[in-house]
Amino acid sequence: MTPRTPAPRSRRERPAKPALTHGTIVASAVRLMAAEGLQRVTMRRLAQELDTGPASLYVYVAGTAELHAAILEELLGAVDLSPATAEGDWRDRLAQVLLSYTGVLFDHPGLAQSALVTRPSGPHYLALVESILALLHEGEVPDGQAAWGVDVLLQVATATAAEQSVREGAPDAEDDHDALVEALGQASARTHPRIAALGADLFSGTPQQRLAWIFRAVVNGTATTPR
Amino acid sequence: MTPRTPAPRSRRERPAKPALTHGTIVASAVRLMAAEGLQRVTMRRLAQELDTGPASLYVYVAGTAELHAAILEELLGAVDLSPATAEGDWRDRLAQVLLSYTGVLFDHPGLAQSALVTRPSGPHYLALVESILALLHEGEVPDGQAAWGVDVLLQVATATAAEQSVREGAPDAEDDHDALVEALGQASARTHPRIAALGADLFSGTPQQRLAWIFRAVVNGTATTPR
DNA sequence: ACCTGAACACCGTTCAAGT
DNA sequence: ACCTGAACACCGTTCAAGT
């Protein structure tokens, strides 16, 4: 029989197994998400990808929630913050930044949902917050209102993306929305006069149109509502 | 040996096993959630509770998402809509309705999160939407703005509850928030002048104070922002 | 025709036991 | 001291095979 001495194979093999660090784990998670979607980015699947056991990952990552937050922080590097320092109406530029942010979330169904609950706190997220605050400052929104308003703006942007993403991602969330449209359509004028009066207008507009209006409305509210 | 003839036991035994219908399943799910929390309301655990196999539940419930939506719809019966038809400032009464809604969600960590993605469409939800629309109408908010605004108001209320709930429910989501506070506190005045300028004010106020301001701000924005 | 046991294909997280 | 195999305790969903 051939000797079972494990032939001293070169340290790095075909997929060039990287050393485990927080950084390499997150980088691998981002690649995995791009390839298979967030739903496949689990501690176990990722461990498999990194050619190790799931327990090893817990040395560097606290758990699934932290992992997803780290992925989002990474992706936030793609948000275009340049409008914050450009020329033109500050409200338009604020909307541009927020739309760029929602754009990133739209591309990654599910990530927005986790972002509502586990917020990132890395440099890209800080830069986004700073840009929004700078634009509100430029618009002479009082500091106290800006401090609370930035939260609402990011929340509304994130929640809208979460809603849209999942509607796209999940096959039957569509039915779910249809059920609501149906239910609102059926509402009788006697029991639900306002729903009946508004009718189809409750669902009018493209997501883009609604999002643009929402941002304007929340910015206006922030600017004009004293604490 | 005693004959193994299965003694014809009375049809209904101790826990009075109910017939399986959508109604009995949802009722049982609500009880289970009250007893063990939403995280335990799974198709399998619920089937166990109902003394059957999970496959049987799929005859009456489309899946986990629909199940959670049905639970929420049930709980929405507890929302106090009476301010909608009471005396007084319409903005205050609208805030009362929204606070009652968030109250229900606050009591049930996790349900708010699922509500952001799978909206209920039952009678209790319709009644809530109708009440909000009626108050906006009373406040002479233009129809088109009210139609889109009701969505934003519910979204903001739900997202805020989701955020808070999870912070309470999950043990380490707290750290997560602390990490953000820490990160924002560390931000240098040179690289992040606005974050540095606002400082602790970014996190000031009780959740109640913030929520009250948020509702006023979004209502104001809705009332004053043309489409 | 209706219902469901059993299976398929996964999860997150922990810790005792190794190197 | 560090790392991880293996286990614990679960998931959602489907479908072939029974009654």
Q: Do B129 and B217 fall into the same domain?
A: yes
The distance (Å) linking the CA of B61 with the C1' of D14 is 15
CATH code of the domain containing B44: 1.10.10.60
Confidence of residue B204 (pLDDT cuts 50, 70, 90): very high
pLDDT digits (tens, 9 = 90+) for B101-146: 999 998 886 899 889 888 888 999 999 999 999 999 999 999 999 9
Q: Do the beta carbons of residue A149 and residue A222 sit within 8 Å?
A: yes
Residue nearest to nucleotide C5 (CA to C1'): B53
Give the position of tokens 């108001």.
Answer: B153
Q: Do the beta carbons of residue B185 and residue A124 sit within 8 Å?
A: no
CATH code of the domain containing A208: 1.10.357.10
Is the pLDDT at B196 greater than 90? The verdict is yes
The distance (Å) linking the CA of A132 with the C1' of D15 is 53
Could you tell me if residue A9 is inside a domain? no
Tell if the CB–CB gap between B225 and A227 is shorter than 8 Å.
no
* pLDDT value, residue A105: 93
pLDDT digits (tens, 9 = 90+) for A72-124: 999 999 999 999 999 999 999 999 999 999 999 988 868 998 898 888 889 99
pLDDT digits (tens, 9 = 90+) for A148-196: 999 999 999 999 998 876 665 555 566 677 778 888 878 788 999 999 9
Whether any strand C atom is under 7 angstroms from the Cβ of B20: the reply reads yes
Mean pLDDT of B26-34: 94
Q: Do B27 and B112 fall into the same domain?
A: no
Question: Domain span at residue B194?
Answer: 78-224
Q: Do B83 and B53 fall into the same domain?
A: no
**Residue that terminates a domain, selected from B30, B61, B92:** B61
Q: Do A156 and A50 fall into the same domain?
A: no
The distance (Å) linking the CA of B57 with the C1' of D15 is 15
For chain A, give the mean pLDDT. 87
Q: Do B160 and B217 fall into the same domain?
A: yes
**Residue that terminates a domain, selected from A6, A34, A61:** A61
Could you tell me if residue A211 is inside a domain? yes
* pLDDT value, residue A16: 54
Q: Do A54 and A132 fall into the same domain?
A: no
* pLDDT value, residue A7: 35
**Residue that terminates a domain, selected from A11, A31, A61:** A61
Instruction: For A174, list phi and psi in degrees, rounded to 5.
Output: -60, -50
Could you tell me if residue A1 is inside a domain? no
Tell if the CB–CB gap between B155 and A156 is shorter than 8 Å.
yes
Instruction: Kindly identify which residue of chain A lies nearest to residue B196, measuring between CA atoms.
Output: A130
Question: In degrees, to the nearest 5, what angle opens at C-alpha A73 toward C-alphas A70 and A75?
Answer: 110
Number of separate domains in chain B: 2
What are the angstrom distances between the C-alpha of B165 and each of A106, A155, B38, B162, B171? 24, 15, 12, 5, 11
Q: Do B41 and B120 fall into the same domain?
A: no
